[in-house]
Amino acid sequence: MSIKRITMAEIEYVAHRLAKETMNWSEPIPDFSTRFTNALERCIDQPFQSFGGKNFYPSLIKKAAILFYLMIKNHPFQNGNKRIAMVTLFYFLHINKKWISVDNQELYNFAKWVAESNPKLKASTIDAIEKFIKVYMLDLK
């Protein structure tokens, strides 16, 4: 089964909107149009990059982990990057018939940890994200 990509339109109409409506808390999420040009596009393209016919991120978990990492660390939005990354992760897994069953606060705390991680430890942080996803991932029927 091929891994389905998440699109800009899906992030705008699903992930961004859901994060804005359900996770606005004390810091509002700005409108989608205020995102930083090309930053989001790079985040959603990188999990599907390949060279010489070999995928850099060959599995769903690896693609989900790098997507989550980049959505947090590359700051494609003025505010709300962790919240939008969380919803994007849920949606990306959902369109690929998976889900993560994790408490929202635990996921947010993990997202904060990723945000605060040292960029020099990118590979280790992505490994930790992969492990986190593996622990909580379920098959959808």
- How many whole angstroms separate alpha carbon 38 and alpha carbon 57? 21
Dihedral sign for Cα 17, 18, 22, 25, please: negative
pLDDT of residue 56: 97
For residue 131, being part of any structural domain is answered with yes
Phi, psi of 137 (to 5 degrees): -75, 140
Residue 128 φ/ψ, nearest 5 degrees: -65, -40
Cβ atoms 27, 79 nearer than 8 A: yes
Q: State the total domains in the chain.
A: 1
pLDDT, position 49: 97
Residue range of the domain that includes 121: 8-139
| pLDDT averaged per 10 residues in sequence order, the chain, 141 residues | 91 77 70 84 96 96 98 92 91 97 93 98 99 98 82
Domain harbouring 29, CATH code: 1.20.120.1870
Residue 38 has what pLDDT?
Answer: 92
Residue 23 falls inside a structural domain: yes
Amino acid 25: pLDDT = 63
